[in-house]
Amino acid sequence: MTIKAGDKLPDATFLTSGSEGPRPITTDEIFKGKTVAVLALPGAFTPTCSAKHLPGFKEHAAEFRAKGVDSVVCISVNDVFVMKAWGLDQGVGDDVMMLADGNGDFTKAIGLEMDGSKFGMGLRSQRYSMIVKNGVVDTLNVEAGGEFKVSSADYMLAQL
Extents of the domains making up the chain: 13-144
CATH of 13-144, one of 3.60.40.10, 3.40.30.10, 3.40.1380.20, 3.30.70.20: 3.40.30.10
Contact 126, 33 (CB under 8 A): no
CB atoms within 10 A of CB 71: 18
- Catalytic positions are 49
Q: What is the DSSP letter of 50?
A: I
pLDDT tens series, the chain, 160 aa: 799 999 999 999 999 998 889 999 999 999 999 999 999 999 899 888 888 899 999 999 999 999 999 999 999 999 999 999 999 999 999 999 999 999 999 999 999 998 888 887 878 999 999 999 999 999 999 999 889 999 999 999 999 9
Question: How far is 145 from 18, CA to CA, in rounded Å?
Answer: 33
Dihedral class, residue 21 (left if φ above 0, else alpha if ψ from -120 to 50, else beta): left
Distance CA 55, CA 86 (A): 11
pLDDT on residue 122: 79
